[in-house]
């Protein structure tokens, strides 16, 4: 069962978690759960294995996914500037 189904967290709620707790939460996620959130958050990004292999020639590691997810969560947390 995926993290998203068993945890009760919504995709959007992730950006409301402080950075320290978010890092712990993301580290406990599987690579597939991280990819699922990244694909929801950035539908134009290249995250799934098939598309990544075709476009970039490699698969995203869990560590790369964690880094990208933390960055995107932080960007979503900041108020938009005019």
Distances (CA, A) of 65 to 44, 59, 82: 15, 10, 29
For the chain, what are the domain ranges?
9-77
Q: pLDDT by residue (tens digit) across 59-70?
A: 999 999 999 999
Contact 11, 35 (CB under 8 A): no
pTM above 0.75, yes or no: yes
The answer, yes or no, to whether residue 79 has pLDDT greater than 70, is: no
Residue with tokens 């402080």: 18
* Alpha carbons within 13 A on the beta-carbon side of 64: 9
Q: pLDDT by residue (tens digit) across 18-40?
A: 889 999 999 999 999 999 999 99
């Amino acid at each position: 069962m995926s993290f998203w189904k068993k945890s009760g967290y919504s995709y959007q709620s992730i950006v409301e978690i402080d950075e320290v707790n978010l890092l712990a939460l993301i580290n406990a996620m599987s690579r597939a759960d991280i990819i699922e959130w990244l694909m929801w958050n950035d539908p134009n990004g290249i995250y799934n294995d098939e598309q990544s292999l075709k476009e970039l020639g490699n698969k995203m590691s869990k560590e790369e996914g964690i880094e990208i997810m933390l960055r995107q969560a932080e960007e979503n947390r900041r108020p938009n500037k005019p």
